[in-house]
Structure 1
Amino acid sequence: MTSVPQRKRPRSYWNTPTSDLPRGSRGVPVLVPSDNQQPQFVALRRLACAGTTAAIAAAATNPVEVIRVRFQLESAATRPPSVYDFALRLARDEGLVRGLMQPGVSAWMASMGVAFRPTARTDHRIPGASGVSTPATAFAAGLSTGALTNSLACPFFNVKALQQSAPSSSSSLAASLALVSRSAGWAGHYRGVSALFVRGGALSAGQLGGYDAAKRAVRANGLAEGAGTHVLCSLLAAGCAAVLSLPPDIVLNRYQGAPAVGAHYSSVGDCASQLVRREGVLSLWRGLGPQYAKLAPIFLMTLPLYEQLRRLAGLGYLR
């Protein structure tokens, strides 16, 4: 009786002996993508990594986002002098869950999911003229994808701003979207899209450009890539993104949250000009601390988590 020859599977991460895998810091195997992996499965794993990262990060950082939005909207004459005192007042008056954890969390998850997935995909960044990826090409990749995806997610960002502007808002994402449709029509879902376009581009450009530059600096100093270096690079990227994104972010929150606080602006430009005229140019960077406090946890959740999920999925670290 002749034996049937066994079909040999293509060599890939999933059937590669651990001893043959490249080693990172502390001798831990580094999972790298293989040429034999099917493109559709690679895309699905990227999608799963990005979606999981966005959902976890949105749920964990929503209280900070609520504090930041409410702090920016409230008049300087009535709010406490420090963000800490303001957060304590919110928790005391409206409750930890209803006041800080619940408002806008579903819209925040949806908007982050839409915006983060394509931006995360730009690990294959726009090549420079020399065909080599640089911090400048990473900046350009973040600027383009961030502007586009944040604009597409404008309905979710709009609902998030409305829910987080009102005290103890408990309406669902679907109910809030329907309310916007009834009150302002289809155009109401894209209220402030121009500011979101600028904010999204600036935020993603600072994220990718800053993260790429930080990773290159870490490698240049001989540090092995791993979770610790990803945390350090995320903190530096958050600083870049906070400075670049804060001015359009303040204008966007003021404009989108105007109906909830009884204010009226004829356009995004009118909102920005009134803000600068009444409160000065430096008002565009008011709340830089809260902005960094908002972005740093998000970046600490998203970038290192995404890197590790990619490693576990056999996709390798971002290059």
Structure 2
Amino acid sequence: MVADSKSKPDISLAGTFACSAFAACFAEICTIPLDTAKVRLQLQKKAVAGDAVALPKYRGMLGTVATIAREEGVSALWKGIVPGLHRQCLFGGLRIGMYEPVRNFYVGDNFVGDVPLSKKILAGLTTGALAIIVANPTDLVKVRLQAEGKLAPGVPRRYSGALNAYSTIVRQEGVGALWTGLGPNIARNAIINAAELASYDQVKQTILKIPGFTDNVFTHLLSGLGAGFFAVCVGSPVDVVKSRMMGDSAYKSTLDCFIKTLKNDGPLAFYKGFIPNFGRLGSWNVIMFLTLEQAKKFVKSIESS
């Protein structure tokens, strides 16, 4: 990842973008089953049968994964992987690759010493917001594909695949529909990006001050888990609103979705899917940061040769 003090980048901007996109895509492939479970849990609403509340179809992370695999096949857990990779190439590459240049811009050319946490957070907010504005269509298609469960016999699927989903949404809902949920998505991804990147640096810095710890794979693993946990705690409410808006066109606005979710499902609904969300983001961060650091070492060796 990045050092605490401002320094000249080890590799080119293009190399940083490529490493970031590759690391994000690899983490996406490894963890998307947990993301699919998270989306299903977030979209699940209270079902009322008579006067009693019916038991929910999906219960817990492992239960949701098992239900999806049993009813729809194991491959259904990777629904949305194509737009997911589209998203990570754009979003992951931009938000991570641009983090250091933007952070250095905020502290100024003449800055010397450790970069303040406030500047790290501001840089994370900026790159997260800018990146998701570009990548929102890919996020929308990914959620739409993940949200579609097992259909009754003879009922056609809403979309036959990622490319069909893009074209169908544009044809039926207009080009602007590809940016549905942009408001909560900007909020979610800016906040989570800042939480991930800034907290990774801070957790890593704190761990390295403990006697016996060095800058190795174990330290990166702990730092990645810490970053993922903090990101989920902060970003879960906007993540739920984002998923519901993208998965259901009945909501008029971000505020409308927030109010209806609060009214119909209660405040705890904003932390629906917390465990799978942490399982997803925690493992995603560990895999991404470990892959990123190794990829940057590889690219540095190529560029310096």
TM-score category of the 2 structures, normalised to the smaller one: 0.7 to 0.9
Contact conserved, 2:185 with 2:239, CA < 8 A, in 1?
A: yes
Task: State whether residues 225 and 282 of structure 2, in contact with CA within 8 Å, keep that contact through their aligned partners in structure 1.
Answer: yes
Q: Output the CA distance in 1 between the equivalents of 2:281 and 2:137.
A: 21
2:141 aligned residue: 159
Cα distance, 1:136 vs structure 2 = 2.4
- 1:81-120 aligned at under 5 Å gives the runs 81-97=59-75, 99-101=76-78, 103-120=79-96
Name the counterpart of 1:173.
162
Give, in whole Å, the separation in 2 of the partners of 1:215 and 1:312.
22
Q: Looking at both structures, which has the greater relative contact order when contacts are Cα pairs under 8 Å and sequence separation is at least 6?
A: 2
Alignment partners' CA distance in 1, 2:203 and 2:61: 29
- Aligned residue in 1 for 2:257: 271
> Is the 1:206–1:237 Cα contact (8 Å) retained in structure 2?
yes
Which residue of structure 1 lines up, in the alignment, with residue 285 of structure 2? 299
| Superposition map of 1:194-233 within 5 A | 194-222=183-211, 223-233=213-223
| Distance in 2 separating the partners of 1:258 and 1:155 | 15
Count of matched residue pairs: 273
Which deviates the most, 173-182 or 135-144? 135-144
Displacement of 1:89: 1.3
CA separation in 2, counterparts of 1:167 and 1:220?
Answer: 48
The answer as to 2:32 corresponding to 1:70 is no
Is contact 1:144–1:201 with CA below 8 Å preserved after alignment?
yes
Checking the alignment, whether the CA contact within 8 Å between 1:134 and 1:212 is kept in structure 2 is: no
Spell out the pairing of 1:7-26 with structure 2 (5 A cutoff).
Answer: none
Residues 78-105 of structure 1 deviation map (CA, whole Å, 9 limit, x = unaligned): 32433322221111010001x212x110
Distance 1:128 1:61 in 2: 35
Distance 1:178 1:81 in 2: 34
In 1, Cα distance between the equivalents of 2:8 and 2:133? 34
The answer to whether the Cα contact below 8 Å between 1:104 and 1:164 also exists between their aligned partners in 2 is: yes
Q: After the TM superposition, which segments of 4 or more aligned residues of structure 1 sit over 6 Å from their partners?
A: 34-37
1:255 has 2:245 as partner:
yes
What does 1:123-202 align with in structure 2 at a 5 Å threshold?
123-124=100-101, 125-126=103-104, 127-128=106-107, 131=112, 132-167=114-149, 171-202=160-191
Partner amino acid for 1:100?
L
Q: Work out the CA distance in 1 between the residues paired with 2:186 and 2:23.
A: 23
TM-score (norm 1): 0.80
What is the CA-CA distance between 1:43 and the residue it aligns to?
Answer: 2.5
2:26 to 52, 56, 76: 56
Q: Are the equivalent residues in 1 in contact too, given 2:122–2:194 (CA < 8 A)?
A: yes
Shift of 1:128: 4.3
| CA contact 1:71–1:79 (8 Å) conserved in 2 | no
| SS at 2:300 equivalent | coil
Identical counterparts, % of pairs: 23
Long gaps (5+) in structure 1: 1-33
RMSD of the TM alignment (CA)? 2.2
Mapped partners of 1:203, 1:171: distance in 2: 31
Deviation at 1:230, TM superposition (A): 0.8
How far is 1:50 from its partner?
A: 1.6
Task: For 2:83, give the aligned amino acid.
Answer: A
Greater C-alpha radius of gyration: 1
CA distance in structure 2 between the partners assigned to 1:280 and 1:195 by the alignment? 19
Tell me: CA distance 1:81–1:50, structure 2 relative to 1, closer, same or farther (3 Å): closer
Give the aligned residue type for 2:74: L
Change (3 A) 1:298 1:35: closer
Q: Judging changes above 3 Å, is the alpha-carbon distance between structure 1 residues 36 and 51 closer, same or farther for their aligned structure 2 residues?
A: closer
Cα distance in structure 1, aligned partners of 2:231 and 2:14: 28
Q: Which amino acid aligns with 1:73?
A: L
- Give the TM-score taking structure 2 as reference length: 0.83
Structure 2 vs 1, CA of residues 79 and 306 (structure 1 numbering), >3 Å: closer, same or farther? same
Shift of 1:69: 0.5
**Structure 2: stretches of 5+ with no match in the other structure:** 1-6, 47-53, 151-156
Residue 234 of structure 1: which of 216, 224, 228 is its match? Answer: 224
Query: Alpha-carbon deviation of 1:238?
Result: 0.4
